[in-house]
Homo-oligomer: A and B are copies of this chain.
Amino acid sequence: MKQDAPITPVSLSDVTISDPFWKTYMELVRSHVIPYQWEALNDRIEGAAPSYCIHNFSVAAGKKKGEFGGFVFQDSDLYKWLEAASYSLMWHPDKELEAKIDSVVDLMGEAQQEDGYLDTYYIINGLENRFTNLRDNHELYCLGHMLEAAVAYHQATGKDKLLAIGCAYADCVAREFGTEPGKRRGYPGHEVAELALVKLYHVTGNEAYLRLASYFIDERGQTPNYFALEEAAHGREKGWNRTLGYGYYQADKPVREQTEAVGHAVRAVYLYSGMADVARETGDETLIKACETLWDDIVSRKMYITGAIGSSEFGEAFTFSYDLPNDTIYGETCAAIGLVFFARRMFELTRDSKYIDVMERAIYNGVISGMSLDGTSFFYVNPLEVDPVACERDFRKSHVKPVRQKWFGCACCPPNLARLLSSIAGYAYETDQTALYMNLFVGGSIRTEIQDQPVSLEVATRYPWEELVTVTVKEAPSASCTLAIRMPGWCRKSIVSVNGTVIHPSGNPSGSADAEGSSDSPNCHMEKGYLYLTRQWNPGDVVELCFSMPVERIQANPRVREDVGKCAVMRGPLVYCLEEADNGSGLSRIYLDHQPDFQVTYQEDLLGGVCAIRAKGRFLSDSGWESAPLYQMYQTPSYEEKELTFIPYYAWANRGLGEMLVWVHL
C-alpha cells in the first residue's frame, strides 16, 4: 500500500494565489489576523484579557520576574502563530515579520533547558513535576505545535534555529518516553505531536522522530492504561474519564482496535491524522485499516453537512451514530480543521478523491464559518440552527454564540484558522514525481517540478461561484507528465476539454473516461475520482473544466433524527442557510417548496460578494391560531407564500444578531 512516489503539497513559495475568494482570506490573515495575534501574544490588546504567552517565555528565559499566566498550554498559541506567520512569509516575504519571529525564536532558545526541554509552565512552576501529568497538562501538545512551527519556519526561510530548538525538545521527549527499560510509557493527553513528529522526520530525515510518533500511536490505549497509572501514582482525581471514559482521550483501547470516533473531537482527528502519517511511512496495513474505519465512522455517521464534527459541548466530543443536533452542536472550528488534516493525509495515503470531497466540504463551510468576513471575530462553535433568544436563555445552548466573538481566553481557533488559510495553496495542489494533483479549484499561478523539470500553470476561476476553471500551461517538462484533476463528488455533470477538445468522463466519476476526436488528445483515465490527463504538455495548452453547479437539495440519512422531513440547500461545494436578515424571524416555520424554482444571483454588494439563492417557500401561518392557544385540535395548516433567500453558510452572522437555519422543512 505504501506509495512508491510520495505525494506532497506544493511549496507555498511556488504558488501565487490570485483567486478573489481565497486571496481575500489570505490577505485578511496576513494583514489583520497575524498582526493582531502578535499584539495579543504580547498582551497589548486593550480591553482583552492578557495572553501571557510572550510573558511566560520571558519569565522562563530568566529575562523577567513573574508567574506563569494563562492556560497550561499557553505556549501553543505562540507556536500556532509562528506556523501561520511562516506560511504567510512563503507567499509574502516580510522582513519585519521575519525579524519578529527571529526575536521570539531567540527568546525560545533562552528559555530552553540544557536537555532540550521547553515548556514554560513547568520551567516556571517547577521542572521536578514535568512529564507527570500527560493526561491534562499538554506538554506534548505544545511539543507538537512547536514542531509544526519549526518545520514551517524552516521551509519558509531555510533558517535552522527554530528547527534545532524543536529537534532538541523532541530528542528530550524521545529520551523520556518509549518501551525501552527505564523510559516512561506515556503518550500525549492531547494529540498532535504524532503528526508533527512525522513532519519533523520529513524535514530532517531523522528516523528517531518517526519512531517516536509510531511509539505514541502504538502505545496509546494499551493496558494498563498510562493515564490510570498516572492518576494512581499522583493520587490524582479522574479527569474527563470520570464521565466519558478514557475514550475522551482516545485512550480506552489500542488505536488499531478503535472502530468508532469517540471523545474530544479535535484530539481525535489530530490523532487520526498522525496515524495516517505514520501508516503512510510504514505501510502498516493494520494502521491503514484503523484509519479507514475511523474515517468511515466520522463521515458516514458523525459529520454535519458543513464538515463540522463534535455533536456535544460536553467534552467537545463526538457522541454516537447519527446524533447530529443542529442547535446544541459543538462543531468546533478547530475540529473541522482537524478533519481537513485527516482528509488530506487519507488522500495522500490512497489518492482517493472521496477524502478531498470531505476536505472541500469542511474548508468551504465549517472551517471558514469560524471567521468573520472582516477577519476580526471568530466562532469556536459552528451551529446549523440558531435562535439568539435560546442562546441567551437556554443553558444547554449557552455555548452557542449567535455572533462571532472578538477573542477567546482559550485562543485555539483563531490561530488554527490563520495557519490553515495562509497555507491554503498546499491543500489545493499536491505533486509527486509524475503528476500534479489539483484538489481544490483555487486560482493563481503554480510552479513546481515534475521529474525534476519545471512545470508552470495558470489557473483562472471564479469558483465556488462559477462553474468554469481554466488551466493554462505556461511551462512543461520535455517528457509527458500528468495533470490529475479531482472531479468533485458533489458534481453530477462535468465537462473537461483539452485545447477545445471535449473529454467525456463518464457520469460516474470513479469510472473511466475517454478522449474524443483529435490525435493530440491526452491519454486519460479516471481513477478514484481523479481524471488523469497524461501527455506531452506544451506551453499554451489549455484545459477547461466546467463543473455544473445547479442548486441541489440534500437530504440526510433517515437515521438522523433531527433532519427527518427536512432538506439542506447546496450549490457546488457550498452549504447554504436561511438568515433572519433576509427571511424574517421564525425560520423553523419555513417550508421549502417541492418545486422551489431556485434562482442564483451573484451579488457583489452582499457579504463580500456571494451568490445568493432565491426560492419559493411558504411560512406556517398564525392563521387559525388567533386566540394564541398552545395546543389545539388538528386542522390543515395554513401557509403564507414566501420568497426565501439563502446565503452561503460560511457567511452567516455577518449582519448582526438573528436566527439562522440550515435544515429547512420540505
Contact = CB atoms under 8 A, between A and B. Distances in A.
Nearest to A315: B395
A553 B299 CA distance: 38
Contacts of A620: 558, 564
Interface residues of A, number: 55
A390 interface: yes
Interface string A613-637: 0000000111001001111111101
Nearest to A666: B634
A151 interface: no
Interface stretch (A68-76, A300-308, A470-478, A528-536): A300-308
A323 B588 contact: no
A319 interface: yes
A211 interface: no
A665 to B, nearest CB: 6
A300 B393 contact: no
Contact of A556 (B312, B389, B559, B631): B631
A52 to B, nearest CB: 26
Contact of A558 (B390, B558, B561, B621): B621
Contact of A393 (B299, B319, B561): B319
Contact of A634 (B394, B555, B559, B621): B555
A35 B374 CA distance: 68
Nearest to A628: B300
A622 B558 contact: yes
A485 to B, nearest CB: 22
Contacts of A243: 395
A634 to B, nearest CB: 4
Contacts of A565: 565, 665
A387 interface: yes
A557 B628 contact: yes
Tell me which of A320, A564, A589, A621 has the highest count of chain B C-beta atoms within 10 A of its own C-beta.
Answer: A564
A560 interface: yes
B558 A625 contact: yes
A289 interface: no
A419 to B, nearest CB: 28
Given A390-B323, A561-B588, A665-B564, A554 B632 contact: yes
B396 A328 contact: yes
A657 interface: no
B395 A555 contact: no
A552 B630 contact: no
Interface in A349-398: 387, 389-390, 393-396
B665 A320 contact: no
Given A301-B630, A564-B665, A555 B637 contact: yes
Contacts of A6: none
11 contacts: A300-B628, A303-B630, A320-B390, A396-B396, A556-B630, A557-B628, A557-B630, A558-B620, A558-B622, A558-B637, A565-B665
Interface of A: 243, 299-301, 303, 305, 311-315, 319-320, 323, 328, 387, 389-390, 393-396, 492, 552-561, 564-565, 567-568, 586, 588-589, 620-622, 625, 628-635, 637, 665-666
What 8 pairs between A and B have smallest CB-CB spacing?
A: A314-B395, A553-B634, A561-B588, A320-B393, A558-B620, A396-B396, A555-B634, A319-B394
